[in-house]
Structure 1
Amino acid sequence: MPTSTAELGELRPLMFSIAYRMLGSVSDAEDVVQEASLRLHERSRSGEPIERPEAFASTVATRLAIDALRSARRRHEVYLGTWLPEPLPDDDQDPAHRVERDETLSFAFLAVLERLGPVERAVFLLREVFVMDYAEIAAIVERDEAACRQILHRARARIADGRPRSKTDAARDAALLDTFFAALDVGDVDALASVLADDVAFYADGGGKAPAVRHPLHGNVTVARFLAGLVRRGVGLQVRMERTWMNGDAALRVSSADGATLSLLMVHVDDGRISVIGNQLNPDKLRHLGPVGDLNALVSGDH
């Protein structure tokens, strides 16, 4: 019996969840889902039964994402500055984007996944996030089970220092974020430094299209001073700042006077301190969120 249109639609969140984690790009993940859906539809129309639609969808989406990631990695090799993923709003209204939230969806962890090759990333995600058995994974990535076990072991080792160090405490983390954003609002360096991990890292992604630091900053005092400076600059430019949530992390949407997004400052809490901050300024990675402002023009005074 052919798979119905409704059943195919129900598979879109699964395929998006795989593709987005693989690629760190909303637009690229949507392309994968579109192509995978087309292949499922064509298979269904051919009259050939899809006995396990979820397994078929996972296989098609993963293989397409591996191909897309190989191309994306070549682009990353010539990328200007630090690469950060495209933000995924927690309140995204697209039914296909309603993925289950866990630490592997955070911007900090998606950036860590950049250390893995395409097949490594697929094996890691299929096992750790989607809890597939090795036989299923082996069939999807076209390796034997023993090889998949070795790939997973290697992948875990390569990203071990990027995984959460402790379980979250919702009340503690909420208070920590309130302190952080209140300190950020007034540019209080000491208060900012008090909630940042000693080895906190700050990354900015301008993609060569927006002003951003090219190299990561490290250390609570260094990052606190830099953040305070950003706020002072923002006040001078009359930008608006609004708290929001992206990829399961707290974030600050910075927008121009007309409401166009200029950047997203994403904050990752780990072990009771803010461990990673990412500032997404690349306009190409903000367009799926709505109108994007011209930060270069604003900074240069051409507004």
Structure 2
Amino acid sequence: MTTLAEAHDQLRPLMFSIAYRMLGSVVEAEDVVQEAFLRLHRSAPDGVDNLEAYATTVTTRLAIDTLRSARVRREQYVGPWLPEPIVDDDDLDPAYRIELDDTVSTAFLVLLEALTPVERAVFVLREVIGYEYDEIASVVEKSEANCRQIFARARKRISDGTPRFDATREQGARLASQFIAAVAGGDMAGLERLLADDVVFVGDGGGRAPAIQKPMVGVTAVARFLLGLMRAGERFGVLLEHAVANGQPALVTRGADGALLGVMTIDVEDGRIARLHNVINPDKLGHLGPVGDLTALLRGEA
């Protein structure tokens, strides 16, 4: 029988995958996984029949409790709330390596915020993990019939807004490169050609960094705003890098010293950029490495 110690490396990706999709926070997900392992070590005998099911149950229940308390903080959050980004690169902490598919995209995780903690748990376990309803019922302590109803209700609530990612990774990378070139070159016409007419820009500063307080919509407004940001950044030697974050093409912004200033994910639909989600809240970037002080930079203090 596999012991918990032997299964640690195998269980960790699954547990983090569940917790991150439940919470949209790398830091909170890591805390949940650590607490889940502590509880498993204290209570799970080496002879338990199914360690994976046991780990899934503990992780999901802890994530539900964490999300219930987090919802109060998010209601008081300054400006739009976006999930903490996971940037896919060789330096990424192995603890955060999960399968970066559409269900961890920024747009999708934002949609999941509309669900209650239990709805989110049922949806993640069914849609992502592939659990059967009887297994889900055991985890969330509801009846199988109730879980079917919860899943149907959750899927209906988010179905209309579910993002449609029809670009391959190569197409997304190419469009992101063109996007960076247009922004860096101040090419208004070129940038407008890349953006959908109803493109949406969302910024998350959380009151800790300067960000717009509500989403911006429209190709001309967003293009002008982006070029304005670039002109401001150029004065301080801000650097732009292409990356992949949450399974989508992304733009990483760094200061002249290499410190991270922001991560912007790029959602592509029908060959054009449909949504831009820009996380500049330093509290949401620390897991990716040293973070710069964007506010001080813009004030000329850094």
Q: TM-score, normalised by structure 2?
A: 0.94
* 2:209 matched residue in structure 1: 210
* 1:221 matched residue in structure 2: 220
Distance 1:235 1:2 in 2: 55
* 1:14 matched residue in structure 2: 14
Please report how far the alpha carbon of residue 39 of structure 1 lies from its aligned counterpart in structure 2 after TM superposition. 1.4
* 2:59 matched residue in structure 1: 61
Distance 2:246 2:75 in 1: 25
The alignment partner of 2:202 has SS state of strand
Aligned length: 301
Distance 1:43 1:189 in 2: 60
Within a 5 Å distance, the mapping from 1:107-126 to structure 2 comes to 107-126=106-125
- Encode CA deviations 1:47-86: one digit per residue, 9 max, x unaligned: 4632111111111111100000011111001000010111
Moved more, 77-86 or 273-282: 273-282
* 1:83 matched residue in structure 2: 81
The alignment partner of 1:5 has SS state of helix
Distance 1:102 1:197 in 2: 23
Runs of at least 5 residues in structure 1 that lack an aligned partner in the other structure: none
Distance 2:168 2:244 in 1: 17
Aligned 8 A contact 1:124 1:155 in 2: yes
**C-alpha RMSD of matched pairs (Å):** 1.6
Runs of at least 5 residues in structure 2 that lack an aligned partner in the other structure: none
- Equivalent residue letter for 2:26: V
Moved more, 274-283 or 187-196: 187-196
* 1:38 matched residue in structure 2: 38
* 2:28 matched residue in structure 1: 28
The alignment partner of 1:275 has SS state of strand
Aligned 8 A contact 1:210 1:281 in 2: yes
Aligned-residue sequence identity (percent) comes to 56
Within a 5 Å distance, the mapping from 1:232-271 to structure 2 comes to 232-271=231-270
The alignment partner of 1:202 has SS state of strand
- Encode CA deviations 1:167-204: one digit per residue, 9 max, x unaligned: 43344433322322211111222221212222221110
Moved more, 231-240 or 68-77: 231-240
Give structure 1 regions of 4+ aligned residues with deviation exceeding 4 angstroms. Answer: none
Aligned 8 A contact 2:16 2:96 in 1: yes
Distance 1:8 1:97 in 2: 14
The alignment partner of 2:210 has SS state of coil
- Encode CA deviations 1:208-237: one digit per residue, 9 max, x unaligned: 011000010011221111111111111122
Change (3 A) 1:174 1:253: closer
Distance 1:165 1:254 in 2: 26
Distance 1:246 1:170 in 2: 12
